[in-house]
Structure 1
Amino acid sequence: MRAATLAALLLIAPLGACVSVTANDYGDHTGARATPGDFGEATLMNTSGARVGRAVVTQGATGLLIRIEATGLTPGWHGVHIHSVGQCAAPFTSAGAHVNHGMPAKPHGLLNADGPDDGDLPNIFAAADGSVSAELFTSRARIADEGPGEWLWDADGSAIVIHANIDDHTSQPIGGAGDRVICGVMAAG
């Protein structure tokens, strides 16, 4: 098997650490494990293509810390997920399904007895003016890892997606969270 080496660089500054990734002929990835403090920033865009905020993702010892600052949401609760493809062409379906490392893949929902999938995150709350400032943590995803798998900064990247409605954390496939209204790309270069 021939392996091609890819440099895992964030497309959007500021850059944290550079993580080296290798893809084999089957698309599996191996490479350096992300270390605590590795980070990157994704610009959040709405469906009209306007910049509405940012998400900063930082690797911790046991998972990821995700800080989200955004505007332009309807007031109230919104589902937010990590999607498996680093593309944000409106209506953001190009971001694919949730990151899901399990074999077989786990169903959606933080409250699902058979879940959650690796892209599931807690809901965020938008204030009366449509702004949100949130800090989320997940132990089910990494920036990069040594073994084969789907990481945030693998060859096809990933995306942070905010939905129009609250996620009930049980319904399939996305907890009733509705349309994808904000998206931010994190991808390998």
Structure 2
Amino acid sequence: MTRALRTLALTTALAATAFSAPALATDQHGAHAHTPSEAHATLIDRARNEIGQVHFQQGPTGVLITIEMDGLPESAVGWHGVHLHEIGDCSNEDFTSSGGHINPSGRSHGLLNPDGPDNADLPNIYVHENGALRAQLFTTQVSLNGETDAPALLDDNGSALVMHENQDDHMSQPIGGAGARHVCGVIEAAH
């Protein structure tokens, strides 16, 4: 083979590789190409007042959760447990319609528990004296649509984010002593 033919063959092979690489990259992510990578929830209190929003973003290894609330009563100042619940329903006055924690593997509750955490466990969040809350949390224990082989928040029966009356001690069963459910939001795909 002459030098000119070798150069032409190599150039043709490189060009074919360059044009097929984007197609390969697209195929690699095809399983989740049409699923939402973001979700949101409107937070309500027991009086059914809208008091905040939650934004969920799927990352490569987990979900980033951004929580914003305003107008919380003075009695709410302090730390509160927050968990992900297995049903996207906040219709009951006490928010028990959201079911229990997302926990298909049956692990014990608590970020500090040697037999935990369950998939619903998140760090505590803090309500300030002015009734406002701003927090960002990250968890590898769930996904939006199964992207990381973790339970999907946007499954057939949905999910909810629930804020409890007290802080979570991250050890006690079944919910770390966090108490009653005071705030709830149904998690929905962002369009």
TM-score (norm 1): 0.76
Cα contact 2:68–2:135 (8 A) shared by 1: yes
Distance of 1:153 and 1:58 partners within structure 2: 12
Contact 2:140 2:150 in 1 (8 A): no
Segments of 4+ in structure 1 off by > 4 A? Answer: 32-37, 146-150
Distance 1:35 1:132, change over 3 A: farther
SS in 2 for 1:94: helix
Q: Which residue of 1 aligns with 2:103?
A: 100
What residue number does 1:177 align with? 178
The residue number in structure 2 matching 1:83 is 85
**Post-superposition shift, 1:148?**
8.7
* SS of equivalent to 2:186: strand
**Correspondence for 1:46:** 45
Kindly indicate whether the alpha-carbon contact (under 8 Å) linking 2:35 and 2:145 is maintained by their aligned counterparts in 1: no
Q: Alignment length, in residue pairs?
A: 156
Q: Cα distance, 1:95 vs. partner?
A: 0.5
Is contact 1:126-1:132 (8 Å) kept?
yes
Per the TM alignment, residue 35 of structure 1 is displaced from its structure 2 partner at its CA by 9.0
Q: Is the 8 A contact 1:46 1:181 kept in 2?
A: yes
Q: 2:40·2:187 contact (CA, 8 Å) conserved in 1?
A: yes
In structure 2, the residue matched to 1:57 is 56
Query: Any conservation in 2 of the 1:109–1:120 contact (CA below 8 Å)?
Result: yes
Contact 2:77 2:129 in 1 (8 A): yes
Counterpart CA distance in 2 for 1:84 and 1:113 is 23
Find the aligned partners of 1:162 and 1:68 in 2 and give their Cα distance.
Answer: 11
Q: TM-score, normalised by structure 2?
A: 0.76
Amino acid at match of 2:56: V
Q: Give structure 1 stretches of 5+ with no counterpart.
A: 1-31
- 1:101 CA displacement: 2.9
Within a 5 Å distance, the mapping from 1:20-169 to structure 2 comes to 32-33=31-32, 38-71=37-70, 72=72, 74-89=76-91, 90-102=93-105, 105-145=106-146, 150-169=151-170
- Alpha-carbon contact 1:163-1:177 (below 8 Å) kept: yes
Rounded Cα–Cα distance in structure 1 between residues aligned with 2:188 and 2:40? 11
Q: How far apart, in 1, do the equivalents of 2:63 and 2:150 lie?
A: 16
C-alpha root-mean-square deviation of aligned residues, in Å?
A: 2.4
From the CA coordinates, give the structure whose radius of gyration is larger: 2
Counting aligned pairs with the same residue, the percent is 47
* Higher normalized helix content (fraction of residues): 2
Greater strand fraction, Structure 1 or Structure 2? 1
Q: Structure 2 CA distance, aligned partners of 1:117 and 1:91?
A: 22
Q: Extract unaligned runs of 5+ from structure 2.
A: 1-30
* Equivalent-residue separation in structure 1 for 2:134 and 2:81 (angstroms): 14
The answer to whether the 8 A contact 1:80-1:122 is kept is: yes
Q: SS where residue 182 of structure 1 aligns?
A: strand
